[in-house]
Amino acid sequence: MANLNGHMVFEAAVHNSEAHAFYREALLHLQESGADFMLGGAFAMFHYTGIYRDTKDLDIFCKWTEYPKILKYFSKLEGYEVELTDVRWLAKVFKGEYFIDIIFDTVNNICRVDDTWYEHAVDAIFEGVPVKLISPEELIWCKIYVQNRERYDGADVNHIILRYHPLNWKRILFRLDQHWHLLLQQLINFQFVYPADFHRIIPRWLFAEMMQRALEQYELPPPTERVCRGPVIDQTQYATDIKEWDYKSSTIKTV
């Protein structure tokens, strides 16, 4: 990684030149499509943490009104195939073994891309192409809900917190206010993993507020509805709670 005018420059790995040729071509096509998009995934993680992962896909984030432009544009290009995978949050573009994930929400329909994502996007250069990256705050917001058997993104969140400064903690709290327990969980995890860094990185006011909220739960009567919010972070492992143990699932928004 190198810096140029305050932008990230991603230097292509020689051993995977075919993948990087696909990334550059796909990004140029995305720009030509006229859609307003941001880059996320492994390359946003690389920019914010310096951790590089070989991948055969690009994670593209956009508003739900933008993905039809992308699908229609790529459907006319030779060698590309398109798929509306899940109308609630995901579409895909394929070229051989490589593909683009077009993400306009999350699987739990909580982190829907809106105009504010673009307002806080970060300028970068990737494969020689100027791009916008989703902000570190949005990246944390999305990843903090990924806590299932097949994939757990808590380490990714810890690495963003550790390596990228300054984070807008008030904005992170705003994003996660509905599910502040998950933010508290992550802060305690970070304190466990990085005991020498916790005090200088995590604002005392934030940790104090989260702990106060947790203590106040004891002063409230228990809910009359037996709700399991497990499906918000794992859509499969809490199925038993809903189907057999008579818990009600959290309300999940749908399009």
Confidence of residue 251 (pLDDT cuts 50, 70, 90): low
Beta bridge partners of 147: 152
Taking the C-alpha atoms of residue 96 and residue 253, their distance in angstroms, rounded to an integer, is 34
Query: What's the sign of the alpha-carbon dihedral 176, 180, 186, 192?
Result: positive
Q: What is the pLDDT of residue 235?
A: 87
Confidence grade of residue 16 (pLDDT, cut at 50, 70, 90)? low
pLDDT digits (tens, 9 = 90+) for 118-168: 999 999 999 899 999 999 999 999 999 999 999 999 999 999 999 999 999
pTM: 0.91
Choice between 52 and 192, residue whose per-residue pLDDT is larger:
192
pLDDT, tens digit, 9 for 90 and up, residues 24-71: 999 999 999 999 999 999 999 999 999 988 888 899 999 999 999 999
* DSSP track, 117-129: HHHT-EEEEETTE
Q: Is the pLDDT of residue 5 over 50?
A: no
Residues 144 and 183 sit within 8 Å (Cβ to Cβ): yes
Return all residues near 228 (Cβ < 8 A) that are at least 6 apart: 238, 241, 242, 245, 247, 248, 249, 250
Please give the pLDDT value at position 11: 52
CA distance 174 to 171: 5
* CATH numeric code, 1-134: 3.30.460.40
Per-residue confidence (pLDDT) for residue 254, from 0 to 100: 39
Does residue 8 have a pLDDT over 60? no
Residue 1 has pLDDT above 70, yes or no: no
At 253 the pLDDT is: 45
In angstroms, the CA 184 to CA 122 distance is 26
Stretch 16-20: mean pLDDT: 80
Domain ranges of the chain: 1-134, 138-220, 225-249
- State yes or no: pLDDT of 10 exceeds 60: no
